[in-house]
Structure 1
Amino acid sequence: MKTKIFASLLLATLTCSGFSTAYLIPAVAKTPAATTANRVYAKANPAVVMIRGNKGWGSGFIISPDGYVITNAHVVKGQPAVVTLLMADGKTEIPADLVGFGKDGLDLALLKINRRGRKFPTVAPAKTAARVGDNAYAIGTPLDEAFQNTFTTGIVSALRDGGKYIQHSAPINPGNSGGPLLNDSGEVIGVNTGGFGRATGNVGLNYAIGVNLLRQFVIDARQGKSSPVATIRD
């Protein structure tokens, strides 16, 4: 009762003082979707890196505290055996060794950061594969180095080749290659690889390598079963 009386007196005071109540705009609460996106970005972004080479740049992400990094093979193909990573803070540069490439045309590569004893932020592969209609989030460095840490959202639009590849609508552009595609839990469901319509702007037809292929590639690469050279077609 006291609350209602106070509110009435406050309204009367504001009106009599010439302050129009039309300007009392209520605070807008964040939607559940926005809150989820905020959480995904905060969790995953520290583990996303930009990869510099002598032919431009791409994206990647750290999957283990000791510094193993995933990216696309086409990002580091033809690059020196040691590439430079720019961490998420946009300032720290760290060298990383090329460990190996995916076999049979798989557009993946594994790197290892040269920093013994240091623990790095990581993003984990999802335990379950993506489903059509799931939310999808991308982080990377599209178009220019100035756009590092760009975060975009969309949905999983389709699963291709038996689920090996994910079609999604989260906008990506050149430079996003090798960056993570994430689920609502901030886990990696795929590795962003390419998209259609890039000459005229992204049209929402984007592709990522699915987590099952990623998981097996990491196992093989860490056991020395990766290819020493890129096997993707030019």
Structure 2
Amino acid sequence: MRFFVILMLIFNISFVYAASKKLPESAQEIQLSFATTVKKAAPAVVNVYSRKLVAARKSVFDNDPFFKQFFGNRFGRSQPREQNSLGSGVIVDASGIVVTNHHVIKDADSVRVVMADSQEYEAEIILEDERSDLAVLKLVTKGETFTHIEFADSDKVEVGDLALAIGNPFGVGQTVTSGIVSAVARTNVGISDFQFFIQTDAAINPGNSGGALVDSLGRLIGVNTAIFTRSGGSNGIGFAIPANMVKRVVSSAKIGNRVLRPWIGAQIQSLNVEIALSLGLERPDGILVRAAHRDSPLYAAGIKRGDVISAMDGISVKNEKHFRYLWGNKQIGDSITLSILRDEQRMEYDVAMLGAPEEPPRRTAIIDGNAPFTGAEIMNISPAVIEEMSLPLGSVGVIISDININSNAQAYGFEIGDIILYVGEVEIKEVADLLQASATNRQTWRLSINRGGRIINSIVNG
């Protein structure tokens, strides 16, 4: 009797389970796959191989007089070594324009692109945009045209949409993985200045960087750039740079070698619960304007300190990173409408997109001689430099923009982004001041620098 009851129970459970599922009703539904989408998109996804020569460390015996006496300069002579990296890329124009991640080709001496059909082409780097972690390549061809992927409007991507990741993980060959869009507007990933990503659970692994994230129609919704992992492999948390940002960078590459973004020229911050409540808001959505440069587009439009920006062109602003992403996708010369809350009154302002002024001119120079700064590239700070290097609003003076390897500046511990305030008693207001101060012979150097808002005073021997 017990056996019969168990059988009946299993039968009833099976019947309910089967009834709750919709079975395929046609041969087409049984054979449903993403093959058509993959055939459309996959030929436009390529492998990107970059190569660079890295200076080898000097031998500890290079400057040893004993070994030099017996071996001359032959002992320990260091040779540069070759370093290769592999990533993926996406052809986005029939003329052979390829977009990939900046970290895939950073400091490369040469770049080679291998197509899905194994054809190989040399590629020129026509634009590097470290702020967005994107780079644009141009295939060196004899006039061939290429299959390319069309851009989707990534602002219309929704959580739950189908997502296919195409790339070359671990160098095993072109691979397609499927998933969904797990989240949009994902921030705090720590990859680029524009912290705004599409998250997907489609498997993304090393080698997928720069590959395509496409929708069900084979259109590009993002460029795969990073994964969250503790093991080095995919854990179902991958991030892609939205296609609208990619499209903006590619458009810039077609007309120049840098991305000219409109200038915000203001100090802004995300709202928190306390600020939102103090302003009479139900939710902490939007951004607070804390200060605005008097030459900035916001100031010129009439936006004031204490204003809350709640929307841009009708799109609700979630936080500071969302605002910077939306702003960064605009072009100089565009006009936008910002929705503002001021003294519990809602209003709208039209804002003209302007470029950051180069005043004073940056006058880039590399310091030579025997000063502690030797080998550092320096420039005057202007609103344009503040925007490019994400400096605090109101920064002035001279900043280190690059440091040569094995230089005095590197040995003394200077860092990119250091602002030189004083050399001895001399205040450094412009590049000419630091060049003149560095040309003097000193036994000791008293230095004052600003590093990330912290003032460092030090004395070093000449």
TM range (shorter): 0.7 to 0.9
Preserved contact between residue 163 and residue 178 of structure 2 (Cα < 8 Å) = yes
Q: Deviations over 1:144-172 (max 9, x none)?
A: 2xx22100000000012589410000001
- Runs of 4 or more consecutive aligned structure 1 residues displaced over 6 Å after TM superposition: none
Q: Which segment is superposed worse, 127-136 or 174-183?
A: 127-136
Preserved contact between residue 102 and residue 109 of structure 1 (Cα < 8 Å) = yes
What TM-score do you get using the length of structure 1 for normalisation? 0.77
Q: Distance in 1 between matches of 2:208 and 2:123?
A: 19
Question: Could you tell me which of 160, 167, 188 is aligned with 1:140?
Answer: 167
Report matched runs for 1:126-165 at 5 Å: 126-129=152-155, 130-144=157-171, 147-161=172-186, 164-165=196-197
When residues 32 and 168 of structure 1 are mapped into structure 2, their CA distance, relative to the original with a 3 A threshold, is farther
Q: Distance in 2 between matches of 1:137 and 1:218?
A: 22
Instruction: Specify the code of the residue in structure 1 equivalent to 2:43.
Output: P
Q: Which segment is superposed worse, 38-47 or 192-201?
A: 192-201
Residue 72 in 1 paired to residue 72 in 2? no
Q: Deviations over 1:151-203 (max 9, x none)?
A: 00000000125894100000010000000100000000000001012525311
- Alignment length, in residue pairs? 196
Report matched runs for 1:214-233 at 5 Å: 214-224=246-256, 226=258
Instruction: Specify the code of the residue in structure 1 equivalent to 2:143.
Output: G
Secondary structure at the aligned position of 1:40 is classed as helix
Q: Deviations over 1:50-85 (max 9, x none)?
A: 0112222100011111100000000000111x4111
Question: Could you tell me which of 38, 42, 46 is aligned with 2:39?
Answer: 42
Paired residue for 1:97? Answer: 124
Paired residue for 1:167? Answer: 199
Residue 110 in 1 paired to residue 122 in 2? no
When residues 30 and 198 of structure 1 are mapped into structure 2, their CA distance, relative to the original with a 3 A threshold, is farther
Instruction: Specify the code of the residue in structure 1 equivalent to 2:175.
Output: T
Paired residue for 1:15? Answer: none
Paired residue for 1:83? Answer: 111
When residues 113 and 210 of structure 1 are mapped into structure 2, their CA distance, relative to the original with a 3 A threshold, is same
When residues 160 and 114 of structure 1 are mapped into structure 2, their CA distance, relative to the original with a 3 A threshold, is same
Q: Which has the higher contact order (CA 8 A, sep 6+)?
A: 1
Paired residue for 1:212? Answer: 244
Q: Distance in 1 between matches of 2:199 and 2:154?
A: 17
When residues 63 and 33 of structure 1 are mapped into structure 2, their CA distance, relative to the original with a 3 A threshold, is farther
Instruction: Specify the code of the residue in structure 1 equivalent to 2:256.
Output: G
When residues 95 and 219 of structure 1 are mapped into structure 2, their CA distance, relative to the original with a 3 A threshold, is same
Preserved contact between residue 154 and residue 222 of structure 2 (Cα < 8 Å) = no
Instruction: Specify the code of the residue in structure 1 equivalent to 2:163.
Output: A
Q: Distance in 1 between matches of 2:30 and 2:221?
A: 21
Residue 56 in 1 paired to residue 53 in 2? no
When residues 127 and 84 of structure 1 are mapped into structure 2, their CA distance, relative to the original with a 3 A threshold, is same
Q: Distance in 1 between matches of 2:30 and 2:242?
A: 26
Preserved contact between residue 135 and residue 156 of structure 1 (Cα < 8 Å) = yes
Cα distance, 1:116 vs. partner? 3.1
Instruction: Specify the code of the residue in structure 1 equivalent to 2:145.
Output: K
When residues 31 and 152 of structure 1 are mapped into structure 2, their CA distance, relative to the original with a 3 A threshold, is farther
- In angstroms, what is the RMSD of aligned CA positions? 2.3
Cα distance, 1:112 vs. partner? 0.2
What 5-or-longer segments of structure 1 have no aligned partner? Answer: 1-27
Q: Distance in 2 between matches of 1:123 and 1:39?
A: 14
Instruction: Specify the code of the residue in structure 2 equivalent to 1:117.
Output: G
Question: Could you tell me which of 199, 208, 211 is aligned with 1:179?
Answer: 211
Instruction: Specify the code of the residue in structure 2 equivalent to 1:43.
Output: K
